[in-house]
Amino acid sequence: MQIKKVKTQGFCFGVAITVKKAEEAVENRSDVTTLGHVVHNPQMVASLAAKGLKNAKSIDEVDSGALFVRAHGLPVDIFQAAASKGLEVIDATCPMVTKIHRQAEKLRAEGYKIVVVGDPVHPEVAGTMSHVPGAWCIETVEDVEKLPRASRVGVVVQSTYSEARFTDIVRALVAKYYEVRSVNTICTDTHNRQAEVAALAEQVDIMIVVGGKTSANTKHLAELSEQRGARSYHIERPDELDKSWFTGQETVGIASGASTPGFLVDEVTARLEGWFVQHAA
């Protein structure tokens, strides 16, 4: 069995910064709370909780201490609520997400009706929508047909969205509207992972994609790999690997999502190497 890994593995820089800031915050104080999980990875969430990071579902549950803002960012009204409650805000919003907010605001100021492409219930998209009140959020090409009339639309996209799907949506918008100004705000890390997985999927029989089950970018990688011809398995932990998946197969690829710690990829690799003779790196 030959094992091939895509080049980009482990945390993206935004998640790495967030985790580092969260670790520093809980080292220095015991009253740091985040809304929702800091990263889409249960192992990291558990590790930060063990170090003292508290978790709340809503800002209503946080009355004192510091509010930790994860890489996805938070809607504007949550920042306002935190300020009115006198909470200290530790803002670890990824710079690439902040850039999406600025791009959307700029397009709006230039008179475009804003379309945000992404998962409407994803926290990052909720944050972006809050910066451009009245924007439309769409997730599929079919959604384009349902949009109201407008003459000029300005488009931004969730940082971890599928590039292929975004291209199709922009094409549909161009067919519908007189003027479309589209800014591809998919971040560089997501772009690289998708390009690398698409290329590797054509060379391997099976792809193992490591990452949280709720991680949008990890799910997209597994879908993309499957579309490119590799039987793909999305796992969170090495003990989910099943030896029978590899029967009669010659090559396996390993990829991981942006919020997957490097040590999990190493453990998955080690388990596969322990099972099968590796002929080449």
Which active-site residues does the annotation give?
124
Cβ pair 100, 159 in contact under 8 A: yes
Q: In one letter, which amino acid is 159?
A: S
Cα 181 to Cα 104: distance, rounded to the nearest angstrom: 11
Q: Which is nearer to ligand SF4, 12 or 204 (by Cβ)?
A: 12
The DSSP call for residue 60 is: G
Stretch that binds ligand SF4, among 29-37, 47-55, 91-99, 223-231 (CB under 6 A): 91-99
Among 3, 12, 19, 197, the residue binding ligand SF4 under the rule CB under 6 A is 12
Give SS3 for 149: coil
6-33 per-residue burial string, b: 16 or more CB within 10 A, e: under 16:
bebbbbbebbbbbbebbeebbeeeeebb
- Nearer to ligand SF4 among residue 189 and residue 196 (C-beta): 189
Site string for ligand SF4, 217-256 (x = CB under 6 A): x---------------------------------------
Contacting residue, 6, 15, 38, 104, with ligand SF4 by CB under 6 A:
15
Nearer to ligand SF4, 5 or 70 (CB): 70
Q: Which of residues 34, 159, 162, 256 is near ligand SF4 by CB under 6 A? A: 159
Amino acid sitting at position 138: I
Residue of 97, 104, 116, 264 that binds ligand SF4 (CB under 6 A): 97
Shortest Cβ distance from residue 5 to ligand SF4 (Å)? Answer: 19
Q: For tokens 């080449």, what's the residue? A: 280
8 A C-beta contact, residue 3 and residue 266: no
Least distance (Å) between residue 180 CB and ligand SF4? 23
Which residue from 71, 135, 156, 224 is in contact with ligand SF4, where contact means CB under 6 A? Answer: 71
Please tell me the count of residues contacting ligand SF4 according to CB under 6 A: 15
Task: Read off the tokens for 89.
Answer: 């805000």
CB nearer ligand SF4, residue 113 or residue 220: 220
258 binds ligand SF4 (CB under 6 A): yes
CA triple 87-90-93, angle to 5 deg: 130
- Cα–Cα separations (whole angstroms), residue 261 to 9, 136, 230, 237: 8, 34, 23, 11
Q: Is 31 helix (H, G, I), strand (E, B) or coil?
A: coil
**What are the C-alpha distances in Å from 193 to residues 123, 201, 207, 208, 230?**
21, 12, 13, 14, 16
Over the window 166 to 205, marking each residue x when it contacts ligand SF4 by CB under 6 A and - when it does not, the resulting string is ---------------------x-xx---------------
Counting contacts by CB under 6 A, is residue 13 touching ligand SF4?
A: yes
Q: Are the C-beta atoms of residues 37 and 45 closer than 8 Å to each other? A: yes
118 counts as binding ligand SF4 under rule CB under 6 A:
no
276 is an interface residue for ligand SF4 by CB under 6 A? no
Q: How far apart are the first and last CA of the chain?
A: 11
Q: How far is the CB of 151 from ligand SF4 (least distance, A)?
A: 31
Residues that bind ligand SF4 (CB under 6 A): 12-15, 71, 94, 96-97, 159-160, 187, 189-190, 217, 258
